[in-house]
A and B are shown apart, each in its own frame.
Chain A
Amino acid sequence: MSLAAIFSRVAGIVITIFVIATINFVLVRAAPGDPAAVIAGQSGATDEKFLAQVRAEYGLDQPYVVQLGAYLGKVATLDLGYSYRLRRPVKDLIAERLGPTLLLTLSAFLISLLGGVVFGALAGVRHGKISDLAISLLALILYATPVFWFGLMLVLLFSIKLEWLPAFGYVDMRAGSFGPFAYALDVLKHLCLPALTLGAIYMAMYARLMRASVIEVAAEDYIKTARAKGLTEGAILRGHMLRNASLPVITFAGLQVGAMIGGAVVVETVFSWPGLGRLIFDAVTSRDYPVLLGLFLVMSILVIAVNLLTDLIHRLVDPRLAVR
């Protein structure tokens, strides 16, 4: 890539972030209610002085334009601000939630991608057979199942009936006294159900996509050539079909991962997972503007980063792209 191309790409990203920030600000403010009203609504009693104090702290007594200007200024200096509700810097709030969210999202992403590609390829290769039907049907059911319900069923089976895995939480509350290995094992145990729940629906999507893609690729001339030159079906699948068939899946997964980071709210809620999704949800319902806007900013950066990563993976899988 030339210097100019890199520069235009970076400029594009910066402009995108500012546009997103402005839209976020306007959207968030368009909703009725403000932090003072929420705190008052949940305290059981309030008065004018209290409301005025909270509004002054948040700067809500300033005109909108001044508030927007102040906010964009903060974005420019990468200052995420301070949550007056939680009495902590937004930077810290996000930092402590980022780990659990990335752990959950990336595990779910891997589960869904691996599972989706494997099952999809299997179904595609056995197109029309019983196993294809079974996989397709299962994928359809998973895809149509509400996430929270699927999560609850897993809890019912693995936590209540079988008592194998904890029903919710990130780590045992007494984990402070655990050694590093026991701690990791404990987190892993807690991770199983939420990651499977979050991954399942995407796995179903990718499996369906992969199946269609494999069937399409199977009809290509170069597959016929491969077969004609006497390669085994397994070699054809591994050497010629998988790489080509997985391109649309990777494209799609790249788009989805952004949604996954922000869209884990339901799973995080069902499993009491201390991630970003829940922080967003709490911030929305309590109108905690600095937290919300900080989160939007971080997440738009994450999504942009993931898109870049997807581009790179594309180049690896499909060398033709790098040449162009």
Chain B
Amino acid sequence: MKRRGFNKMLLGAGLALPAMSLFRDGVAYAQGAAGGLTAIINPEPPVLVLPINQQIPTGTIGGKIYESLLSYDFELKPQPQLAESWEISEDGLTYTFHLAKKAKWHDGKPFTSADVVFSCNVMLKEVHPRARGVFDRCESITAPDDHTVVFKLKAPFGPFLLAFETSSAPMAPKHIYEGTDYRKNPANDTPIGTGPFKLKEWSRGSHIHLVANEDYYLEGQPVLTEIFYKVVPDGASRSVAMETGEAQLSQFADIEPFDVPRLAAMPNLKMTTKGYEFFSPVLWYELNLRKKPFDDLRFRKAARLLLDPKFIVDKINFGLGKPATGPIASTTKFYDPNVTIYKTDVAAANALLDEMGLKKDANGVRTTIKFLVVPFGEFWTRLAEYFRQAMKQGGIEVVLETTDPGGFAQRVSNWEFDTTSNMLYQNGDPALGVARSYISSNIRKGVMFTNTEGYSNKEVDELFDRAAVLTSDKERAELYSKVQKILVDDLPVLWMTEQQFPTIHDARLENAIDTAIGVNGTFGRARWAS
């Protein structure tokens, strides 16, 4: 190339650069109420077929495609979804659901009671661990006519109506799955549900494109014409996406806590913590009770007295969430605040440790323990660092161990840890999401989210078991009050906070968060402010 030619090229490039700004991604949405929505998804879900995969992002996107019989308001009261109405027999054994007559699958086939029976009685029992636990309680699931389903229970089960949340019991089409290998069914590439949005395109590693289901059975829904879920694996990039308007909705832990206050304060964005009531996660530090010195209640009390949940809320969570007083979240029905309250007290903690005979050595160290850091992001690392810092005040040296998601689940479920942190969803009811962490029948080696700390107390077992099979809320509340008192005194784990997730969205987006599962809901009513 001659020099003059080269100079021309340089000049051309100089002119072209500013011109590029004209082609910048225009996200000038909000053309009336309809229009489309661009949301963030992270991590990318492995598949979208909610019946066979219940990882969190699958629930978020699958919740637009699939539905269950019910939805729940912010107080967790059941609301119609695929079931228009329902009755419960006096003895609490028979539940009858009347289905929406106009509901159809995305391929045009009608949705009927046969699909419900197939889903609950056959497919979910085979592929869905949580649904299996609930529907195994049924003696029979039958369909007297095309739009009626009758569940007969072997024994009463208090939270049965809470089992019909979308991720807990997503309805699967019988005509596609019956008699096939569910996991290998080629139709898994093109999920077929009854929800207000259908899958249009999945560009792996980039985005998932949903479009409105024109044949949706609820009048006037959906309002939005399409939803793009953009895969953004980097935390800083997710914040940038929200900031520039390239994405208009983020959920769960998408935005790192330190970025939340900044984004929430932006005039074009809004932040809400509503819509996570069904999950109501409680965060705790977990001590392996099979090992010394964690088996000693005095040690656990001392550790609890060294910790300050308020610090986690204010400094690690930047104000999101609130201190937890015990195993049951205050956002659910059976919460009882009248339990022993632990106030941070370093002197009392040291006294307890002295009493145990754990003497300080020359370096002021009583004992050295290990902490398995949860490998799911910045927040968990800070949580581990705080634990180390807090324990130091009692002369307890904490060595942090790192791992990755595969190693983490393996080690915790096989009880190969000293201490760690954990967070469990309550799934709307103590019998569904709380009891599992404390009852001794759920000490199951190799299985994650069970009683991994190894707590065993006959009285607690009995209270939880009895409360599950009662149907009267009043009677159940009494038993749960008792069990909360015992547990808080016994400290099987060190409860820290009721976590709240920030949902950040474009200030003009309305009605997206309208149920207790918020961002995992159908978005049928979501619309742009006109």
* List of B residues within 8 angstroms of A162 by Cβ: 21
A18 within 8 A of B: no
B508 within 8 A of A: no
Q: Once bound together, how far apart are the Cα atoms of A171 and B233, in whole Å?
A: 16
Which of B18, B231, B436 gathers the greatest number of chain A CB atoms within 10 Å? Answer: B231
Q: Tell whether, in the assembled complex, residue A32 and residue B410 are in contact, meaning their CB atoms are under 8 Å apart.
A: yes
Which of A41, A48, A278, A286 gathers the greatest number of chain B CB atoms within 10 Å? Answer: A41
Min CB gap A40→B, angstroms: 4
* List of A residues within 8 angstroms of B81 by Cβ: none
Q: Tell whether, in the assembled complex, residue A51 and residue B236 are in contact, meaning their CB atoms are under 8 Å apart.
A: no
* List of B residues within 8 angstroms of A50 by Cβ: 127, 129
Comparing B48-56, B109-117, B309-317, the segment that makes contact with chain A is B48-56
Q: Once bound together, how far apart are the Cα atoms of A271 and B237, in whole Å?
A: 7
Q: Tell whether, in the assembled complex, residue B46 and residue A87 are in contact, meaning their CB atoms are under 8 Å apart.
A: yes
Comparing A152-160, A219-227, A301-309, the segment that makes contact with chain B is A152-160
Query: Which residue of B46, B209, B405 contacts A85 across the interface (Cβ within 8 Å)?
Result: B46
Query: Which residue of A43, A97, A176, A278 contacts B233 across the interface (Cβ within 8 Å)?
Result: A278
Given contacts A42-B56, A86-B46, contact A166 B246 (CB under 8 A): yes
B446 within 8 A of A: yes
Q: Once bound together, how far apart are the Cα atoms of A152 and B447, in whole Å?
A: 40
Q: Tell whether, in the assembled complex, residue B205 and residue A155 are in contact, meaning their CB atoms are under 8 Å apart.
A: no
Q: Chain B interface: which size bin? A: 35 or more
Q: Once bound together, how far apart are the Cα atoms of A148 and B124, in whole Å?
A: 43
0/1 string, A13-47, CB within 8 A of B gives 1: 00000000000000000011111011111111111
- CB-CB contacts below 8 Å: A81-128 with B: 84-88, 93, 96-97, 100
A163 within 8 A of B: yes
B232 within 8 A of A: yes
B241 within 8 A of A: yes
Q: Tell whether, in the assembled complex, residue A170 and residue B206 are in contact, meaning their CB atoms are under 8 Å apart.
A: yes
Min CB gap A71→B, angstroms: 19
Which of B56, B204, B425 gathers the greatest number of chain A CB atoms within 10 Å? Answer: B204
* List of B residues within 8 angstroms of A165 by Cβ: 20, 24
Q: Tell whether, in the assembled complex, residue A269 and residue B447 are in contact, meaning their CB atoms are under 8 Å apart.
A: no
- Count residues of chain A with CB under 8 A from any CB of chain B: 66
A263 within 8 A of B: no
- CB-CB contacts below 8 Å: B170-226 with A: 183-184, 188-189, 201, 203-207, 209
0/1 string, B418-449, CB within 8 A of A gives 1: 00000011010000000010000000101111
Q: Considering the complex, give the chain A residue whose CB is closest to the CB of B229.
A: A173
B47 within 8 A of A: yes
B17 within 8 A of A: yes
Q: Once bound together, how far apart are the Cα atoms of A274 and B132, in whole Å?
A: 36
Q: Considering the complex, give the chain A residue whose CB is closest to the CB of B167.
A: A44
* List of B residues within 8 angstroms of A31 by Cβ: 404, 406-407
Min CB gap A193→B, angstroms: 11
Q: Tell whether, in the assembled complex, residue A33 and residue B410 are in contact, meaning their CB atoms are under 8 Å apart.
A: yes
Q: Once bound together, how far apart are the Cα atoms of A169 and B228, in whole Å?
A: 13
Interface of A toward B, CB cutoff 8 Å:
31-35, 37-51, 53, 57, 84-88, 93, 96-97, 100, 148, 152, 155, 159-160, 162-173, 176, 185-186, 189, 269-275, 278-279, 282, 284-287
A-B contact pairs, 13 of them (CB 8 A): A31-B404, A41-B408, A43-B55, A46-B129, A48-B444, A87-B47, A164-B21, A167-B241, A169-B206, A170-B205, A270-B236, A270-B237, A286-B46
14 new A-B contacts, CB < 8 A, other than A50-B129, A270-B236, are A32-B406, A34-B406, A37-B410, A41-B409, A41-B448, A43-B129, A44-B449, A167-B246, A168-B234, A169-B207, A171-B206, A186-B23, A270-B237, A272-B233
Interface of B toward A, CB cutoff 8 Å:
17-18, 20-21, 23-25, 38, 43-44, 46-47, 49, 53-56, 127, 129-130, 132-133, 183-184, 188-189, 201, 203-207, 209, 228, 230-234, 236-237, 240-241, 243-244, 246, 403-413, 424-425, 427, 436, 444, 446-449
